[in-house]
């Protein structure tokens, strides 16, 4: 499928990065700001997913689907 039809998007179920032990400085800053609008359960799941290699956006979408706000 041509890319202009949206067929070139990465799947959200696959981590974009390698798993890591801790979040980067940028990710920590994003999470600190994000924390104001979401529950502890939401934040914990996002942190877990980001450590598994998912980017911020992927982790947020998966968390919203499973946990909610």
Q: How many structural domains comprise the chain?
A: 1
In a domain, 69, yes or no: yes
In a domain, 16, yes or no: no
In a domain, 1, yes or no: no
In a domain, 54, yes or no: yes
pTM above threshold 0.95: no
Q: How buried is 49 (Cβ within 10 angstroms: 0-12 exposed, 13-18 middle, 19+ buried)?
A: buried
Q: What's the whole-number mean pLDDT along residues 39-61?
A: 92
In a domain, 36, yes or no: yes
What is the model's pLDDT at position 6?
58
Q: In 3D, which of 69, 68, 67, 65 has the Cα closest to residue 12?
A: 65
In a domain, 11, yes or no: no
Identify the domain containing residue 38 by its residue range: 22-69
Q: What's the whole-number mean pLDDT along residues 47-51?
A: 93
- Compute the mean pLDDT over every residue in the chain, rounded to the nearest whole number: 84
- Give the tens place of pLDDT for each residue, 18-35: 888 999 899 999 999 999
What is the model's pLDDT at position 46?
92
In a domain, 4, yes or no: no
Is 60 exceeded by the pLDDT of residue 7?
Answer: no
């Amino acid at each position: 499928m041509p890319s202009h039809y949206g067929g070139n998007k990465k799947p959200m179920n696959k981590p974009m990065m390698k798993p890591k032990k801790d979040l980067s400085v940028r990710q920590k800053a994003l999470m600190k700001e994000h924390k104001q609008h979401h529950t502890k359960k939401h934040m914990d799941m996002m942190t877990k997913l980001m450590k598994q290699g998912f980017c911020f956006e992927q982790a947020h979408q998966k968390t919203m689907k499973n946990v909610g706000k």
